[in-house]
Amino acid sequence: MKKDEVPQDLGSLGKITKEVCYATDSTGKYVTELSTGWEVKTKALDVAWEDIAKRIASAKEQVLNNQASPLLFFMEYRLMDISILADYTGFWKWQIKRHLKPGVFNKLSDQKLQKYAEAFNIKVEDLKSMTVHED
Amino acid sequence: MKIEFEHRQAAHCESGVTSNLLRVSSNSKITEPLAFGIGAGLFFAHIPFIKINNGPAIAFRTLPGHIFNRTCKSLGIPVIRKKFRSKEKAEAFLKECLDAGHPVGCQVGVYYLPYFPKEYRFHFNAHNLIVYGKDGDNYLVSDPIMENATVLDSYQLERVRFAKGALAPKGHIYFPEKGADITDGQIKQAIKNGIKKNVNSMLYIPGSFAGVAGIKSTGNKIKKWRDKLGLQKAGSYLAQMVRMQEEIGTGGGGFRYIYAAFLQEADSYLPGNQLADISVMFTKAGDLWRTAAVQAAGIYKGRIGSQEDFNTMGDYLLEIAEIEKNAFLALKKIKWQ
């Protein structure tokens, strides 16, 4: 890539910091050049978040239809799978799988709910009511 | 308390941290590309049966931690590194290091890293930054991908140092012990070692998931993605590949440009070995990775999407595999002058 071809399409990172790219100058020597972003990868990132949004929406529906507990919703919201959540909470994976059932979830002690709330960085009442505060 | 430390931005976090931590003892000789090359950072792997964020697990660089380790080892610099179970002990040790005047490298997760834009916060635990002081409750942080130095309060730093999930940092802290002067002779030897290691990792890892063989195999897989996954999911997979290739920290072209820059710098240490010519081959590979990314973007934007387009996409990777194979074979054949 030549120095003057380093893309300057403003992306979400570009608003906060420019990133260093390695490119060649007119004599072919490598130099660094700052880039504000590249449309190709901005779109790739958009695709990732669109997929996540779909997963969140589908989780929400399952919770509202009483097919899953609010854990599923917050797992998708926080991009966590069962093993990440197990690491954050200290629960076993099989326990989390049980807690994903609405019936089991509704009987969980406050202490257990608190562990989940901490992992998701939310309050217990928000966990129960599936309420999201933008952070 | 603040240690004399100058923040410098880099393309890639680990090679940036390595070069910044070695700046004093190397008299600024270990640049980011040199750290990346000596650490044999260039790689490709497409790990089967594992999904990351519901997409393919593709990496363009070597395992986290390797670049710093290999670079220091090759240069004969003793390293101190620790991981912790206890958050309190981790912070106590950090403070001790700062009191002793050591800026330190820390491995962190980016999901709860507050100065990162929200769009970039995934559960990625192999980010690296330098802590070089403390002011009240705030730690002074030099994150190589940021233009300016920044701060994290003690809770924020603890949270990212003890992020959970794959490659959990567990408070991982590392720094070079002071007092080692790096000579040109050491750098020359380290460059040769780094190249040799990278030749091995790209050409001779058994199996078809890593190195040049991995690129070829992924190229062939991509051609089947449309039928196997459906257009939309195949698009998401390609988007994930492009993110790994171009997202913050690669310097562009899936680290191929940094490696080309490394070979140019290596050429001035070891002239007469055609390193500058081989550097051009890596520039070509980087350019082709970016051409492939544009093709991929056409697919995930929904502008194109026929089987023919997927074949073109896969063929780019086959072509890249060929270029990189020849480039590493050329590196392998060098009789050092």
Contact B165 A83 (CB under 8 A): yes
CB contact (8 A) between residue B239 and residue A43 = yes
3-state secondary structure of B230: coil
pTM, two decimals, is 0.93
Rg from Cα positions in chain A? 21
Nearest residue to B322 (alpha-carbon basis) of B334, B333, B312, B330: B330
Examine residue A115 and state whether it is found in any structural domain, yes or no: yes
Averaged over A110-133, what is the pLDDT? 94
Q: Are residues A48 and A27 in the same domain?
A: no
Are A68 and A119 in a shared domain? yes
- Residue B247: the pLDDT is 81
Indicate if A88 and A50 belong to the same structural domain.
yes
Cβ distance of B242 and A41 shorter than 8 Å: yes
Intra-chain end-to-end CA distance of chain B, in Å? 48
Count Cβ atoms within 10 A of the Cβ of residue B70 and give its class: 0-12 exposed, 13-18 middle, 19 or more buried. buried
Q: Which pLDDT does position A59 carry in this prediction? A: 97
User: What type of residue is A66?
Assistant: N
Instruction: Give the H or E element holding residue A20.
Output: strand A19-24
Same domain, A50 and A94: yes
Average pLDDT, chain B: 94
* A28 and A56 belong to one structural domain: no
Q: Report yes or no: B170 at the A interface, CB cutoff 8 Å.
A: no
Domain with A63, as residue range(s), is 41-129
Parts of chain B with a pLDDT under 50 = none
Q: Are A37 and A107 in contact (CB under 8 A)?
A: no
B247 inside 8 A of chain A by CB: yes
Is residue A20 domain-shared with residue A72, that is, in the same domain? no
A78 vs B contacts (CB less than 8 Å)? 111
- To the question of domain B1-28+79-176 being in CATH 1.10.3470, the answer is no
pLDDT, residue B179, reads: 58
Q: What is the CATH number of the domain that holds A111?
A: 1.10.260
Chain A positions in Cβ-Cβ contact with residue B118 (cut-off 8 Å)? 12
- Whether A122 has its CB under 8 Å from any CB of chain B: the answer is no
For chain A, how many structural domains are there in total? 2
Quote the strand ranges of chain B, DSSP E: 42-52, 55-61, 79-82, 104-108, 127-135, 138-142, 150-153, 173-176
Is residue A15's pLDDT more than 90? no
Does residue A135 lie within any of the structural domains? no
Domain boundaries, chain B: 1-28+79-176, 184-332
Cβ within 8 Å, pair B257-A23: yes
Q: Are residues A67 and A14 located together in one domain of the fold? A: no
Residues B202, B99: Cα–Cα separation, whole Å = 42
Give the model's pLDDT for residue B9.
94
A75 and A125 inside one domain: yes
Predicted pLDDT of residue B27: 79
Give the integer Cα–Cα distance in Å for A109 and A59: 23
Q: Is B114 within 8 Å of B99 (Cβ atoms)?
A: no
In this structure, are A57 and A91 located in the same domain? yes
Quote the mean pLDDT of chain A.
Answer: 93
Q: Is residue A102 part of a domain?
A: yes
Pick from B337, B81, B64: nearest CA to B191? B337
- pLDDT for the residue numbered A135: 61
Mark which residues 19-48 of A lie under 8 Å from B by CB: 19-24, 28-30, 32, 34-35, 38-41, 43-45, 47-48
Predicted pLDDT of residue B188: 96
A31 within a domain of the structure (yes/no): yes
pLDDT tens digits along A59-107: 999 999 999 999 999 999 999 999 999 999 999 999 999 999 999 999 9
**Cα–Cα distance for residue pair B96/B101, rounded to 1 Å:** 9
Neighbours of A35 (CB within 10 A): 20
- pLDDT tens digits for range A30-58: 999 999 999 999 999 999 999 999 999 99
